[in-house]
């Protein structure tokens, strides 16, 4: 499985392309905007932090976030926008990660990640095999925002200018969908993109890489479980000697006795065809006992 980052600018048509990919072409699309709403539901960590930093003015009487009011605050203040992003982005990334893992386990060929701030945040870019920008002119963005959201021209321009210019995003991506013309043209470009993604061999390359990594981790874990011994056992083994014959036993005992200062050593042995057992050390006279 590989990841495809889909992005654009406000009112550039990104959501339209995402809808075509999901509803018409059957792709799995993870929408960061939907997740962004989920992570600020009443009672969530994101909701609590927003209330702490922005106060109750950006909330509705029922406790839900007033997105319109919050938008007015952050689009006119870059610092407050950074604060909001620092609150919501980590929660969004965690939710996206879980959805990606789930779809990987289900055997999906690729996943479309609908990320409005893909290039602004930069954190998700390294994980993308393809990055797609839905592009149109800034004038079209303004007109669409005014028609869709009933914004004044000034309000629309403020929101557009708060984002990275589409021209800059187009210079960073691997594929551009031109949404400045009619709907049919956009649809055909999206279908062509889907064909290219479906034929990509990245699916197998990524699967093989993950399989190799997983195999290495499992193998290393098994190796450590089989070979890792308690420290005391390692110490005892390191201080021991392998005895392979009766001669070696006697030699070892003599050397140890001499090291201890003994002048004589008497042993009683019991032997058979299969083993030799030291039954008793009868006497080992130390030097201090000699006259």
Instruction: Give the helix/strand (H/E) hosting 178.
Output: strand 175-178
Give ranges for CATH 3.40.50.300 in the chain.
Answer: 2-203
Check whether 146 has a pLDDT greater than 60.
yes
Give the pLDDT of residue 201: 73
Determine the pLDDT at residue 279: 45
Task: Give the residue from 247, 252, 253, 246 showing the smallest Cα distance to 270.
Answer: 246
pLDDT digits (tens, 9 = 90+) for 154-176: 999 999 998 999 999 999 999 99
- Kindly report each contact of residues 74-83 with a partner whose C-beta sits within 8 Å and lies 24 or more positions away, as own/partner: 74/162, 75/158, 75/159, 75/162, 76/158, 78/162, 80/54, 81/162, 83/53
In this predicted structure, the answer to whether residue 289 has a pLDDT above a threshold of 50 is no
Which runs of consecutive H residues, i.e. helices, occur in the chain?
14-19, 32-38, 45-54, 67-74, 78-105, 118-121, 138-149, 153-161, 166-170, 183-199, 202-227, 231-239, 246-259
Return the pLDDT at 164.
94
Q: Quickly state the pLDDT bin for 99 (edges 50, 70, 90).
A: very high
Look at residue 288 and tell me whether its pLDDT is greater than 50: no
95: exposed, middle or buried (Cβ count in 10 Å: 0-12, 13-18, 19+) = middle
Tell me the CATH architecture of domain 2-203.
Answer: 3-Layer(aba) Sandwich (3.40)
Antiparallel, parallel or unpaired: β 2-8 and 130-135: parallel
pLDDT band with cut points at 50, 70 and 90 for residue 291: very low
Q: What pLDDT sits at residue 107?
A: 83
Least confident segment among 105-109, 188-192, 213-217: 213-217
Query: Nearest Cα to 38, choosing from 65, 56, 60, 20?
Result: 65
Q: 181 by DSSP, 3-state: which?
A: coil
Strands 175-178 and 130-135, by their bridges, are parallel
Q: What is the pLDDT of residue 209?
A: 64
Reply yes or no on whether the pLDDT at 17 is more than 90.
yes
- β-pairing, 276-286 vs 262-271, is antiparallel
pLDDT at 68: 87
Q: Residue 282 pLDDT more than 60?
A: no
Mind listing the pLDDT tens digit for each residue in 40-60? Answer: 999 999 999 999 999 999 999
Q: What is the C-alpha to C-alpha distance for residues 69 and 73, in angstroms, rounded to an integer? A: 7
Count, residues in the chain: 291
Query: What is the average pLDDT score of the chain?
Result: 83
Q: What pLDDT shows up at residue 286?
A: 53
The 3-state DSSP class for residue 171 equals coil
| CB distance 169 to 115 below 8 Å | no
pLDDT (mean) for 237-251 = 62
User: Residue 290: pLDDT band by 50, 70, 90 thresholds?
Assistant: very low
Q: What is the mean pLDDT of residues 25-29?
A: 96
Please state, as a whole number, how many other Cβ atoms lie within 10 Å of the Cβ of residue 245: 9
Long-range contacts of the stretch 77-84 (C-beta < 8 A, 24+): 78/162, 80/54, 81/162, 83/53, 84/50, 84/53, 84/54
pLDDT band at 206 (very low <50, low <70, confident <90, very high): low
pLDDT tens-digit map of 254-267: 777 777 777 666 76
pLDDT for the residue numbered 3: 94
Assess whether pLDDT exceeds 80 at residue 251: no
- The residue with tokens 């002119």 is 137
User: What pLDDT does residue 222 have?
Assistant: 61
pLDDT for residue 249: 67
What SS3 class is residue 113?
A: strand
| Distance (Å, whole) CA 64 – CA 6 | 28
Specify whether the CB–CB gap between 39 and 97 falls below 8 A: no
């Amino acid at each position: 499985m590989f990841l495809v980052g889909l992005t654009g600018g406000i009112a550039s048509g990104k959501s339209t392309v995402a809808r075509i990919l999901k509803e018409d072409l059957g792709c799995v699309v993870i929408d960061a905007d939907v997740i962004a709403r989920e992570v600020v539901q009443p009672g969530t960590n994101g909701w609590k932090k927003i209330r702490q930093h922005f106060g109750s003015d950006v909330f509705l009487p029922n406790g839900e976030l007033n997105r319109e009011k919050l938008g007015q605050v952050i689009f006119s203040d870059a610092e407050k926008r950074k604060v909001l992003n620092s609150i919501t982005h980590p929660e969004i990334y965690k939710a996206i990660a879980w959805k990606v893992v789930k779809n990987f386990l289900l055997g999906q060929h690729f996943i479309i990640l609908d990320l409005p701030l893909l290039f602004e945040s930069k954190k998700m870019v390294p994980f993308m095999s393809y990055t797609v920008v839905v592009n149109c002119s800034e004038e079209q963005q303004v007109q669409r925002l005014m028609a869709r959201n009933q914004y004044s021209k000034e309000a629309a321009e403020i929101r557009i200018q708060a984002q990275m210019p589409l021209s800059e995003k187009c210079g960073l991506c691997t594929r551009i969908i031109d949404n400045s013309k009619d709907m049919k043209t956009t649809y055909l470009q999206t279908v062509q993109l889907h064909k290219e993604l479906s034929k990509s061999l990245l699916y197998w390359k990524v699967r093989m890489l993950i399989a190799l990594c997983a195999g290495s981790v499992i193998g290393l874990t098994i190796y450590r479980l089989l070979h890792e011994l308690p420290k005391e056992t390692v110490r005892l083994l390191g201080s021991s000697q392998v005895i392979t014959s009766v001669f070696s036993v006697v030699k070892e005992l003599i050397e140890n006795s001499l090291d201890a200062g003994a002048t004589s050593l008497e042993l009683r042995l019991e032997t058979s065809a299969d083993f030799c057992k030291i039954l008793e050390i009868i006497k080992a006279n130390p030097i201090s006992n000699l006259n």
